């Protein structure tokens, strides 16, 4: 039996499905691949001009040192994620997941909200790095997290966000996305902690009732291995083969499928 057929059988027969996803999940929707500085700089020439890598740009210090630059970067991403249409693989995956006796859960490092946009239930998603569609105070004046629905970021030709910049609903100072950035000690993780409680309860219940679980991972790289580690840990806990879909880094999995997310989903469903 080839790998695709084996994976297809596991997904078909499982009582529940855990879908884990990294940045590669959204590439087929047209979202940029920030793999390496060249890919990042192609999307953000201003960062190249300043000599900043993605890791250096995605740092909360810019909201205090250069807030208009920080909000140009995150505002551009917010606008992009709002405008993008998730690829058809999301819908096909949702159809598969909704037919499971004990349902599904999403664990993702993506902050783009594409799973919610595709119809996956908010209560069945854990965003381990937060969400760009939610805001918090840059100074952490309170634990408040709120939706970014009412903000619109306009960016000038020098790649600077125009006034007014988003403000904290509590103290009126600058707001920032509720995203875990690099070297970030002010991220308010309460929303993600609540999601963590939901997935923990779901997994514990699967064990309690003796349900069979399929674990399938899409586009999670090794640079920040949070998603890969989670996939491996939960697959091991349920003694189920890990299905890892990744065109470049499908190794160290029971079933490694070297395809992009969209192609793999249609091949497996």
Residue numbers of the domain that contains 204: 1-31+87-129+189-269
Residue 55 domain flag? yes
Residues 78, 177: contact at Cβ < 8 Å? yes
Q: What is the pLDDT of residue 1?
A: 53
How many residues belong to the chain?
269
What's the farthest any 2 CA atoms get from each other in the chain? 61
CA distances from 224 to 41, 128, 186, 206, 239 (A): 19, 12, 19, 28, 24
User: Quick check: 63 pLDDT over 80?
Assistant: yes
The helix-helix angle for 190-209 and 226-237 (nearest 10°) equals 20
Domain shared by 12 and 115, yes or no: yes
Beta bridge partners of 16: 213
Domain shared by 10 and 69, yes or no: no
CA distance 188 to 149: 19
Domain shared by 216 and 200, yes or no: yes
CA distance 69 to 67: 5
Q: What is the pLDDT of residue 42?
A: 83
The token pair that represents 128 in the structure block: 């381990």
Residue 122 domain flag? yes
CATH code, domain carrying 162: 3.30.1600.10
The token pair that represents 93 in the structure block: 């995956």
| pLDDT tens digits for range 130-155 | 999 999 999 999 999 999 999 999 99
pLDDT (average), residues 212-232: 96
Domain shared by 254 and 149, yes or no: no
Residue 184 domain flag? no
| pLDDT tens digits for range 94-113 | 999 999 999 999 999 999 99
User: Quick check: 213 pLDDT over 60?
Assistant: yes
- Considering only CA atoms, which of 217, 220, 218 is closest in space to residue 261? 218
Question: Which positions ≥6 away from 52 have C-beta within 8 Å?
Answer: none
CA distance 4 to 260: 13
Domain shared by 267 and 166, yes or no: no
Q: Please report where in the chains the tokens 């840059």 appear, as a residue.
A: 138
Domain shared by 146 and 258, yes or no: no
Domain shared by 224 and 197, yes or no: yes
The token pair that represents 8 in the structure block: 């297809």
Last residue of a domain, one of 155, 179, 203: 179
| pLDDT tens digits for range 174-188 | 999 999 999 999 999
8-state DSSP, 153? -
Count of structural domains, the chain: 2
Residue 262 domain flag? yes
């Amino acid at each position: 039996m080839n790998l695709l057929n084996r994976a297809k059988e596991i997904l078909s027969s499982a009582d529940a499905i855990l879908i884990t996803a990294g940045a590669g999940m959204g590439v087929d929707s047209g979202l940029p691949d920030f793999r390496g500085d060249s890919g990042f700089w192609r999307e953000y020439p201003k960062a190249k001009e300043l000599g900043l890598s993605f890791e250096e740009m995605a740092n909360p210090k810019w909201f205090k040192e250069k807030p208009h630059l920080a909000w140009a970067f995150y505002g551009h991403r917010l606008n992009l994620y709002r405008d993008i249409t998730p690829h058809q693989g999301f819908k096909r995956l949702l159809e598969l997941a909704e037919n499971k006796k004990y349902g599904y859960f999403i664990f993702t490092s993506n902050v783009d909200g594409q799973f919610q946009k595709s119809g996956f239930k908010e209560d069945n998603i854990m965003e381990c790095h937060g969400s760009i569609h939610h805001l918090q105070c840059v100074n952490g004046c309170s634990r408040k997290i709120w939706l970014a629905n009412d903000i619109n970021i306009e960016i000038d030709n020098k790649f600077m966000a125009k006034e007014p910049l988003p403000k904290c609903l509590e103290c009126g100072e600058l707001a920032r996305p509720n995203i875990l950035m690099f070297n970030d000690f002010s991220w308010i993780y309460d929303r993600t902690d609540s999601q963590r409680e939901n997935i923990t309860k779901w997994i514990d219940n699967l064990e309690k009732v003796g349900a069979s679980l399929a674990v399938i991972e899409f586009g999670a790289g090794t640079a920040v291995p949070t998603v890969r580690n989670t996939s491996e840990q939960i697959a091991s806990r349920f003694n189920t083969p890990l299905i890892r879909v990744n065109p470049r880094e499908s190794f160290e999995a029971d079933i490694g499928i070297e395809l992009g997310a969209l192609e793999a989903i249609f091949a497996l469903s």
